[in-house]
Each structure stands twice: as C-alpha cells, then as structure tokens.
Structure 1
C-alpha cells in the first residue's frame, strides 16, 4: 500500500472524533472515544494520540501511510506553534499540543481552531467543494466562523480571524453582554443560546405565545413554533436571521466570498431561516459585492471537523 492518508481529529468537550481521509477529502474510516476532561490535560493529550493510532489500526490502512495528523480544538490558540493558550471546554491552558503529538506520533502535526477546521472541511469536501473563497458560520451554542480565501484558512495576526460570532452588530439600546464580555455580539441573538434566551424573555414578559406551554425551551421549539405561525417565535427567528444577514453584508464588502455556508443545529431550520437571511443580505449588500454570491447550508454535518482537520495537512 502506497496511498497516502490523512488523519483528522475533532476534539470536543465530551468526545474526540477521529477520521481518515484520502487526498480528495473522502472520509474512509472513523472512530470516536471519550475526551475524559475530568482526568485533566495529560489524559486528553494521550487520548488524542491513542485514538489517532487506533483509527488507523482498526482500518485497512497502515500507520506508515499516514502523511500527517490535523487537530481541530476550541479555544484561544497560537496556531503556527500549535499551542493552546486556553480552551474553556477542555480546561486546558498553556499546552504545547503540537509538540506533544509530534513526539508521540512521529508525524507532521497541524493544529487549528475548531471553527476554522469545520470551515475547511466544508470548503474541501462539503458544500463549498471547488469554491476557492467562502465564509462559514456555525450556529450552535455559540456562533462560530471560518474564512477560506484562495483555498486557505485565514488565521490573522493573533489567530483571531473569523470570530464572526463576536462581531458587535446589535444596536446599543438592544444589546446585551455576550459571554466574551463585549456588548451586542452576533452570538447573543443568532446562536441557539440566543434564540432560547429571547424566547424565555418573551415568556417571562407574558407575551402571548405557545412557547409558554413548553417546559424546557430549546431552539428547535422556537423554530417549530415560528413555522406553525406563532408570531412571537417568528419575530425571534426573524431577529436572528436579520443580524446574520446583516453581518454577511459586512463580510461581503470586506472579503467578497462566493459562498456563505451555514452549519450547526440552528441551520436545520432550512429555507424558513435561509430565505430570511438571503432577503436581509440582498437588502444591505452593495450590488457588486452580492452578485453571484450564494448562501447555502453545510453538508458534512458532524463530520466537518474531522474532514477539515485532516485537510490541514494538505491545505492548512
């Protein structure tokens, strides 16, 4: 066997997902194991290394075929050095992840932010396949982002490029404080957490909404209620879509991507959400910056991080 393969690792707070990809980004084999954050940093690092070896050992491929291992991890990173400054999800601080894995695995190692990695996955083998310039939003607990220009991840001077969820876009009189400490971030209104917060606020105010009958409101409940004609829920979803579309109009002027790719749990609302985002984008974006631009759903789902991490070796 001479075919080169690429291992991608998506490190989450609960599980570590590992996969093998070929040079075209096709996912060949996967493995998933517990992160074991409660056991501390050393345990997490050793799990990343051991799962990387296991996914290959359990497949029809050989370790000698591995051309490199890419890792996607949430947190503040020094990306060129592969150094984790702080990851709240994992409670890791000041850790030389790249150095550790190079020693343990004896392979080329590349480390990047999880949102960047998911964006690369979609650009390489997902909704943006064949598209050189795209921007990805991930709408989950927060709002993640990743920028791909000329097929490469844009990292920025301090590895902070693409933090789209922390664009301060909500006007001061409507703004609340984000978890990052800033006011009016996109994440406060367009994430699942933001949608849930707005719904609970509406119920607490006594607004007439079917959501008052829901014991533990989730973002899906709000979206389903909006689709069913609940006016309060519809306003909440419309607000989330409005600020997403408006943020895209700003990004379009700065970067002029061909595709905006939207993933994460909230994106499962489908055209009900996407049509509203497109309408706002159309309204606020300069003609030359929106011409030919598409706003599309992500296609790789939970595999985007694994595929993108593997892609770091070829395209990171």
Structure 2
C-alpha cells in the first residue's frame, strides 16, 4: 500500500503556504502562492484548492496518496462545520470553506483557527513532540495561542478556546484598551505591539532611555536596549514577561500542561525573556502544578502552520 501523505494549508492575508507531511509530521515539501484577497472570496477559495493540488503534482507523490487536507485560517470560525463566519484579513464572511474544498478536492477536509493549527504543529512535530499536554503562545503583532490536551486542540463551546492574548490580566488602574475593545488584555503588554507602545510612551514622557534616539522603534530595539543595560527598556521587557508568566501560572492550575511553548518574533529575545517568565511563573503557581513543567521556545518557525494544518487530519 502506498504511503499516506497529508496536505496542510496556512492561509495568510498575502500568501497561502502549503506543506506536504508524512504521518510523523515530517515536512516533505512546501509551496507558496498569492492569496489574491483583492479578487474576492471565490478567487481565494479556488487558490487554496489549486495550491493543494500543485504541491502534490510537484512532488513525487500521487493525489491518491493524500489522506486529507487541513486548513488553518485567521478569523471567527464554526470549527465543527469548517465554516468561516468572518476573517478580517481575508475579507471573507459566511463561507462554507470545508464544503467547497470537499467538492473541489474529493478528500477529507478539516478547518481550524490559524493559532490553534500552529499550536498543534509545535505539539505534534516541534518543541512539544512526545508531550500530550501543551499551551502555546505566539508573540507577534498580538498574542496568539492554542491549547493542546491529550494531543488534540481544545476548541471550546463557541470555538473560542485558546484566545490567550485576550486574558484580562492587567489591573484596571494600569490597563489600556485592547484592539478587541476590552480593557487590560495580555496582548496590550506582552505582544510586539504592546512593547513598542510602552517604549514610545516612555520616550514621549521624557524618560531617560537610549530608545529616544531610535527613529522607528521595534520590539527588537527594546530588547536589545534592555540587554545593553537601558533601565527603561529593561522595565518594559520585565513587564511583558511578568504578565506572560502570571498568565501561565493561572493556566497551570486550570489545565496543568507539561509544556508552555512560546513562538513569534518576541520569543527571539531568548533567555533574557524566558528566565524572567519562568521566575514569575514559579512564584505564582502551585508547587504540584509546576513540577516537571517546562517553558520552551518554539522550533518550527514559519512552518508550524502548515505542519499543524496537516496534523488536523491525524490529530485534529
């Protein structure tokens, strides 16, 4: 019998990335094509189907070997139906993505939130390989997240589980409004956007910091300044780490994961960030809940989405 293969599709606002995986989560081949959001929903859907076929045609495999196609997409979904309620980045709404792809491709189709899919990728074939219980954070423009329990994505009643960036964790007196409209969300302080905002606020206040000399402050600039001894930058990074660590302490006694996996651009700060997160985590969680628990960096990088999407067929 021919080897089964699994197609994973990561749908972004600019690019659709496709990966071909084996049953162990090894990435065999990748393919990228334009999303073409400017051409409308039908064009995007047909591109997803076309690129899924293209990757198989360009490899040494046959379409008959494809056991299923998984898709990760940003937005509000009805995961059980594979239905996209609304995706702001793609200008898609009220779309039966699963049904369309089943008709076009004639394969098992599974659709999930892009953050959940990236988390599954890390848990299945990345930093969490061999670990059944993981919570994954992605620190980028916002704070994305995904929860993996018993090797499967936790989706929740309304497909809203794992929205870690919107844990209301910052006290009211310090809170600012998040892009979601609520106050005090984790991503207002622990995302790249939050770190940049705090740095710009410090410069505007006239705080003595080397960041005042940086024309277009990025999160990396703040981390680099903190590592170089800039006290203002160090306080900003410490604040981001504090709320990440505290959120993990909360989740540790609710979900009791073995691994917390952190990816995204901010995670490249390395031990300078991770050690502070670990210190806060250990301070606020229960002794039994932290026993054997590790806080580790993600390893798959930009491939987590396609690997996790392929993994939906086996583990979704």
Tell me if TM exceeds 0.5: yes
Match of 2:54 in 1: 54
- Aligned: 1:265 with 2:272: no
- CA-CA distance at 1:14 after TM superposition: 1.1
Match of 2:175 in 1: 175
- The separation in 1 between residues aligned to 2:46 and 2:213, in whole angstroms, is 46
- The correspondence of residues 218-233 of structure 1 with structure 2, limited to 5 A, is 218-233=218-233
- The correspondence of residues 242-253 of structure 1 with structure 2, limited to 5 A, is 242-253=242-253
- The separation in 2 between residues aligned to 1:206 and 1:40, in whole angstroms, is 46
- CA-CA distance at 1:266 after TM superposition: 0.4
**What is the RMSD computed on CA atoms of the aligned residues?**
0.7
- The separation in 2 between residues aligned to 1:17 and 1:125, in whole angstroms, is 18
- The separation in 1 between residues aligned to 2:63 and 2:9, in whole angstroms, is 15
TM superposition score normalised by structure 1: 0.99
- CA-CA distance at 1:89 after TM superposition: 1.1
- The separation in 2 between residues aligned to 1:274 and 1:48, in whole angstroms, is 37
- The separation in 1 between residues aligned to 2:145 and 2:52, in whole angstroms, is 26
Q: Deviations over 1:245-281 (max 9, x none)?
A: 0000000010000000000010000000000000000
- CA-CA distance at 1:205 after TM superposition: 0.8
- The separation in 2 between residues aligned to 1:11 and 1:219, in whole angstroms, is 25
- The correspondence of residues 156-195 of structure 1 with structure 2, limited to 5 A, is 156-195=156-195
- The separation in 1 between residues aligned to 2:36 and 2:204, in whole angstroms, is 37
Match of 2:299 in 1: 299
- The separation in 1 between residues aligned to 2:286 and 2:112, in whole angstroms, is 32
Match of 1:198 in 2: 198
- The correspondence of residues 20-31 of structure 1 with structure 2, limited to 5 A, is 20-31=20-31
Q: Structure 1 runs of 4+ off > 4 angstroms? A: none
Q: Report the secondary structure of 1:61's partner residue.
A: coil
- The separation in 2 between residues aligned to 1:38 and 1:275, in whole angstroms, is 44
- The separation in 2 between residues aligned to 1:7 and 1:80, in whole angstroms, is 19
- The separation in 2 between residues aligned to 1:254 and 1:99, in whole angstroms, is 35
Match of 1:127 in 2: 127
- CA-CA distance at 1:39 after TM superposition: 1.3
- CA-CA distance at 1:217 after TM superposition: 0.7
Q: Report the secondary structure of 1:224's partner residue.
A: helix
Match of 1:279 in 2: 279
- CA-CA distance at 1:40 after TM superposition: 1.2
- The separation in 1 between residues aligned to 2:171 and 2:228, in whole angstroms, is 29
Q: Deviations over 1:110-148 (max 9, x none)?
A: 000001000100010000000000100000111001000
- CA-CA distance at 1:166 after TM superposition: 0.3
Match of 1:40 in 2: 40
Match of 1:73 in 2: 73
- The separation in 1 between residues aligned to 2:216 and 2:48, in whole angstroms, is 35
Match of 2:9 in 1: 9
TM superposition score normalised by structure 2: 0.99
- The separation in 1 between residues aligned to 2:73 and 2:304, in whole angstroms, is 13
Where does structure 2 lack aligned partners over 5 or more consecutive residues?
Answer: none
- The separation in 2 between residues aligned to 1:196 and 1:103, in whole angstroms, is 45
- The separation in 2 between residues aligned to 1:293 and 1:83, in whole angstroms, is 35
Q: Deviations over 1:159-179 (max 9, x none)?
A: 000000000000000000001
Match of 2:141 in 1: 141
Match of 2:207 in 1: 207
- The separation in 2 between residues aligned to 1:99 and 1:169, in whole angstroms, is 38
